[in-house]
Structure 1
Amino acid sequence: MGRVMANGMQRRLAVLIDADNASTKSNDRLFEEIAKLGTATVRRAYGDFSKGQAKSWEPALITHAIVPQQQFANVPGKNATDFALVIDAMDLLHAGGLDAFCIVSSDSDFTRLATRIREHGLEVFGFGRADTAESFRRACREFVEIGTLVPKSAPKSVRAIPAKPAKTPPVEPTKSAPSSALKPIVAHAPVAEAERLILRALGETGAGGKWVAIATVISEVRKLDPAFKPQNYGSGLFSELVDRTSCLEGNQEDGRCTQIRMKPKKVSKPSTEAQPVVAGPTAS
C-alpha cells in the first residue's frame, strides 16, 4: 500500500496510539511503516504516562513528536484511555481533512471504532501484537504485526585483544550436518486457498475475463483478508503466487507482471475427420 492515492495526493493520516496497550520495542520501525502509508499529520498517544506500560513511551513521544494525552485511572477497572482515544477519533473523523487512521493497539474493543471510520469512507490501518483478535484485524484495511518489525540495532564495536599463540594439537575436521537439516520447516497454506481468494477479488472488480491491474487485485484481496501475504503461501511475490495457480495467468510488461486475469476456457474444436458409415440392414 503506497503513500500516494489514486488522485496523486499523499494520504493524510491520524496516528492514535493506545500507550497502555502497545509496546515501544519497535517504535522506530513502526513509524517507518506508517511513513510508507502517508503523512502523519496527527500523532497522539493515550495513557497514564506516570506509571506502567505508558511510561515507557516517554522517549518515543519526544523522538517522533507525538502529543501525549494523559489519562488518569480515576476508577479501577474502567478504561479511561480507550474512551479518550475513541472520542478524539470521532472528533477528528467529523472534522475532516484526513484520509486514513492508524490505530496502534491490540485491543479488540477498537473493532467498532475501526468499522465506524471505514463506514465513513476512510481507511483504517491497524498495528498490534500477533495475538490481536481476528475481529479487529478484519475491521482494518490492513493489519501489521508489530512483532515482525525488527528494530534496527547499532553494530557493536569490538576491540581486538592480541592473544599469545598457543600450541594446540591438530584437530580432525568434523563433518558438518547437511544444510537442509538446519533449516526450519515452515508450513504454508495451500495455494488453492489463495486461488479462491484471488478469484473472489477478481469478481469484486467486475472485470469478467478481462485483464485487471495487479495493484487493483491486491487491494481487493486485502479488503477480503487484511492478513493476506504471498509469503503465507510460500511465494515471495504476488505474481509468483499467481503463476502457481491453475486458473489464473499474468501479463508481463518490461519483465514484470502488471495485470492478471482468469485463464480463458479452451473451446474444443469439432473433429473434421470423416465418420465411418454404418450400413443398415439389407433386405433378404
Structure 2
Amino acid sequence: MSAASAGTLYVVATPIGNLQDITRRALEVLKQVDWIAAEDTRHTRQLLAHYGISRPLISLHEHNEASRAEQLLVRLQNGECGALVSDAGTPLISDPGATLVRRLRDAGIHVRAVPGPSALIAALSIAGLPTDRFAFEGFLPPKAGARQRVLESLKGMAHTLVFYEAPHRLLASLEAMQAVWGADHAAVVVRELTKRFESVQGETLGEVLAYFAAHPDEVRGECVILLGPDEPRSASPALDPAVVLGDLLEKGISAKVAAQLASRWLGLRRNAAYKLAQSLKKA
C-alpha cells in the first residue's frame, strides 16, 4: 500500500470477534497514520498490541464527539492523517463517528473508507432470511413504551428487519416483537459472531423466545435479531404458490421459512406449503 495521505481521515473497520478478520490494508493504514481516534482506547490498544502497532490514541465517543471533531479537524488541516475505529466492526454503524465525518466533509477534508467486518452484514449472510431488501434499525429504545411504538411502526414492512440488541434486553425485545408480529413470524437471533461460541437460533419468534427463556446461560454477548418480511400490503391471492415458494427457495431460504412466509402471504395451510416447498426443493 502507498503511504497514508496527508490531511485524510481513514474510517477503518476492525474485527467483530476473531482478530484474524482484519484486512492487510487496514493494518497498513493503522501503522502509518499520525493518530487513531477510538471509541474505547483501552479496547483498541489491545488490538494494536496484538499486531505490534504503536500509534497515539485519541478517545472519541458519543459524549465528546462534537468537541473532539473540532480538534481533529485542525490537525487534519495542518497536514496530519488519522484513522477512526470503533470497538468492533465498521465505525458509524450504531457507533460514534457520524458527527466527525460530517464536520470533516463540510470542511473539505478527505474521508476514505477502509472496509471490513460488520455484524449487520455477517448476520444477514447466515440467517437464511431474504437479503434482496432489508432495513437496519439499530438498537431499540431501552424503555418498554418507546420500544413498542417503534416496533408497531415497522409492522407491515415487506423486507427483512435487522436489529442490534444487548444481552440483558434480548428477552424483553423478543417478547415485544412477538406481541406485534405473533409467535409464528420468521425470526433468527445470531450471537457472538466470529467467536468460539457463535450461534444461530430459531425459525420463528416463538421458537427463539422459548429457547433463550429456557437457556438463560446463553443470553450473553452482542446479539443480532433478524425478522422476516411481513405480509406485503398488495399481496394477491391469485399468486401461484409454486412460483412464490420457488422464488424463495432460489434465494437460499430454507423450506421451513419459505413455507411460513408463503402461508402468511397466500393464506395457505403451513403444512401444505411446507410439503410443496420440499417437493420443489427435491425437484
Smaller-chain TM-score bracket: under 0.3
Report the TM-score, using the length of structure 1 for normalisation. 0.28
Structure of greater relative contact order (alpha carbons < 8 Å, 6+ residues apart) = 2
Higher helix share: 2
Instruction: Normalising by structure 2, report the TM-score.
Output: 0.28
